[in-house]
Amino acid sequence: MKRIIVTIILLAVITSCKNSKSEPAKDQELLVKGDNVIIPENNPVFKKIKTEVISEQEHSDGVISAGTIQAIPNHYAEIASPFSGRITKSFIQLGQNVSAGSPLFEILSSDYFSVQKDYTDALNDVQLAEKNYKRQQDLVKHGVGIQKELDEAETDFKNKKTSLSNATSALKVYNSKGGGIGSPLIVRAPINGEIISNKIVNGQYLKGDADPVIIIAELSKVWISGDVKEKDIRFVNTGDHVSVKVSAYPDRNITGKVYHINEIVDESTRSIKVLIECDNPDRKLKPGMYATVNFSTTPTRTIMIPVTALMQQDSSQYVWVKTGKNQFAKRSVTTGETDQKTVRITSGLKPGETIMTEGGIYMLDAK
């Protein structure tokens, strides 16, 4: 009998303990009402939640592009021989600075001799035609000449002057002053710059269609050619200042300016070619180097929140907004640009509201 009484007492104690433990458990549960949730302070999740009052801040949507450094076209010249012939003299060496019109090399060419002969013949023809024209003028003036012959002499003189002008222009194309027949052609620099490539060898025979033997570049300014995605081109404008980084000089701050934005979209990459002009006084930026270009956009005041606050549901995004003590409501938001830490909110939130920045993942089971 005693054993039965003891057993009954033990069962009653155990049942009482179970009931005492179950009540607090209910107190700890998350209370869910539609899109709203209440988090009791004695719930373990409560300590894992962090909140933040949101505010507007200045934000600039940076656009980053990879680019390649190149010489500016009108500051760059590839020099080839205009005629087939043999090089007789070189006037320059690699790394030398030259001015426009400076002699580069001398070449003997039979084709150039023909150009010289045409010039000399045209010059002689003009002199003879001029003498004849003046003679006919004198005869007509003294009444012994014929007007028709004077008109013919005048026409011939004009034609010969045109031929001389053409022959002179041909010589000017080669920067020649029209030396005597048989004199060598002196090829001259078309621009100011530095000799960055020199393949001249004295005695070398060059064909008229040979590759360039000298390259001149003026590299105090260079271009960086970059590609900007179609969706980002609205942030880039001619004249904008940009920052540039090259792997060869990682600690160097380089600035440039947008020089030109192409009018055509590359259909294969959906990008637009953009040229940036940079000063290069110490010639550290070399054509062919890779560069990273950061286009800075005009800062605007906007709402930025931590990426940890943003939740995803199917194709929509939302955050938990604090609506009361330990109470939060799910609210859909529209987002803009994002980086590794923050995301831009374009609609759905107002400055001064408090959102859950950490712990939202624990709400998934409560919805």
273-285 pLDDT, tens per residue?
999 999 999 889 9
Residue 95 lies in a domain: no
CATH assignment of the domain containing 235: 2.40.30.170
Judgement on whether residues 283 and 307 belong to the same structural domain of the protein: no
Range of 357's domain? 28-59+300-366
Question: Does residue 21 register a pLDDT over 70?
Answer: no
Confidence (pLDDT) at 316: 87
Judgement on whether residues 262 and 305 belong to the same structural domain of the protein: no
CATH assignment of the domain containing 148: 1.10.287
Band of the pLDDT at 180, cuts 50, 70, 90? low
Residue 252 lies in a domain: yes
Question: Does residue 159 register a pLDDT over 90?
Answer: yes
Q: Which of 268, 358, 264, 271 is nearest to 320 (CA)?
A: 358
253 backbone dihedrals φ, ψ, rounded to 5°: -90, 115
Judgement on whether residues 127 and 148 belong to the same structural domain of the protein: yes
Confidence (pLDDT) at 26: 52
Judgement on whether residues 260 and 310 belong to the same structural domain of the protein: no
Question: Does residue 365 register a pLDDT over 70?
Answer: no
Confidence (pLDDT) at 23: 47
Residue 145 lies in a domain: yes
Confidence (pLDDT) at 143: 83
Q: Which residues share a beta bridge with 275?
A: 225, 260
Mean of pLDDT values over 152-170: 89
Query: Quick check: 205 and 81 in contact, CB under 8 A?
Result: no
Residue 205 lies in a domain: no
Judgement on whether residues 290 and 277 belong to the same structural domain of the protein: yes
Judgement on whether residues 139 and 175 belong to the same structural domain of the protein: yes
Token look-up 């070619």 returns: 273
Judgement on whether residues 153 and 122 belong to the same structural domain of the protein: yes
Among the ranges given (7-16, 167-176, 355-364), the one the predictor scored with the smallest mean pLDDT: 7-16
- Taking the whole predicted model, whether its pTM rises above 0.85 is answered as no
Confidence (pLDDT) at 114: 84
Judgement on whether residues 235 and 290 belong to the same structural domain of the protein: yes
Last residue of a domain, one of 295, 320, 351: 295
Question: Does residue 7 register a pLDDT over 90?
Answer: no
Last residue of a domain, one of 139, 166, 183: 183
Band of the pLDDT at 100, cuts 50, 70, 90? very high
- For 344-359, b/e burial (b = at least 16 CB within 10 A) is bbeebbeeebebbbeb
Mean of pLDDT values over 132-139: 90
Pairwise pLDDT comparison (337 vs 103), residue with the higher score: 103
Question: Does residue 139 register a pLDDT over 80?
Answer: yes
Orientation of helix 110-141 relative to helix 147-173, angle to 10°: 160
Judgement on whether residues 226 and 274 belong to the same structural domain of the protein: yes
Give per-residue pLDDT as tens, 345-364: 989 999 999 999 998 888 77
Pairwise pLDDT comparison (323 vs 168), residue with the higher score: 323
To the nearest whole number, what is the mean pLDDT of the chain? 85
**Residues 223, 228, 230, 236: what is their CA dihedral angle, to the nearest 10 degrees?**
-70
Confidence (pLDDT) at 298: 65
How many CA atoms does the CB half-sphere of 78 hold within 13 Å?
Answer: 5
Q: Is the dihedral of CA 305, 306, 308, 312 positive or negative?
A: positive
Among the ranges given (220-229, 260-269, 306-315), the one the predictor scored with the smallest mean pLDDT: 306-315
Token look-up 């012959």 returns: 149
Percent of the chain whose pLDDT exceeds 70: 87
> For residues 65 and 45, what is the distance between their CA atoms, to the nearest angstrom?
43
> For residues 290 and 225, what is the distance between their CA atoms, to the nearest angstrom?
10
Residue 166 lies in a domain: yes
Last residue of a domain, one of 280, 295, 310: 295
> For residues 172 and 154, what is the distance between their CA atoms, to the nearest angstrom?
27
Residue 361 buriedness (CB in 10 A; 0-12 / 13-18 / 19+)? exposed
Give per-residue pLDDT as tens, 60-75: 666 888 899 999 999 9
Mean of pLDDT values over 65-88: 92
Confidence (pLDDT) at 171: 75
Residue 164 lies in a domain: yes
Residue 328 lies in a domain: yes
CATH assignment of the domain containing 325: 2.40.420.20
Structural domain count of the chain: 3
Question: Does residue 22 register a pLDDT over 50?
Answer: no
Confidence (pLDDT) at 29: 79
Residue 275 lies in a domain: yes
Judgement on whether residues 224 and 274 belong to the same structural domain of the protein: yes
